[in-house]
Amino acid sequence: MKVEIEDKEFQLMLEYDQIKKRTRLLGIQLNLEYENKVPLFIGVLNGSFLFMADLLKEIDISCEVAFIRVASYEGESSTGKVKEVIGLDVDLKDRDIILVEDIVDTGLTLNYILETVKKQEPASVKVCTLLYKPSAITHEIDDISYVGFEIPNEFVVGYGLDYKGLGRNLKDIYRVCNVPSET
């Protein structure tokens, strides 16, 4: 199955049923590991909103929720700079923090968020990401503890991820189709 967004064509990569099953397993793992704690889940907007909502539906323990919004992307690639748009207004000192990301690729944005969060001296910080591109990492991150899917270094849309602001509403995840080069 393929979809077209703006000037690009995308092919199916992960169906919603796969995402839902993996999210359920991540929820079980988080429930066990934070059984006697009250973690604060911090969703990284905009991309994480669908994953965060589905993940929280699987969480049975007491928890709190907050959001941060940062941006480092334009089109298909990172700008190399992180711009904080909306900051955290919650005290993180001595709290157990779980950052919820849609995707970790270069690690630039996540590294920035982790530095910001750690300045407030939380008890612990772990990252839960739906998608992880190990071959794209340029900023090594040790705090990634929960990964939905490892994927190749390909541009993806759907399930919260966008291309030029479009495609976030797709329930499945799609990868960009290879465009044949002109000779």
Sorted by where each begins, the domain ranges of the chain are 16-153
For 85, the enclosing helix (H) or strand (E) is strand 77-86
For 32, the enclosing helix (H) or strand (E) is helix 16-33
Q: Which sequence positions are flagged as catalytic? A: 105
pTM listed for this prediction: 0.89
What's the pLDDT tens digit per position in 26-71?
A: 999 999 999 999 999 999 988 999 999 999 999 999 999 999 988 6
- The CATH number of 16-153 is 3.40.50.2020
What's the pLDDT tens digit per position in 76-132?
A: 555 566 665 467 788 999 999 999 999 999 888 888 899 889 999 999 999 999 999
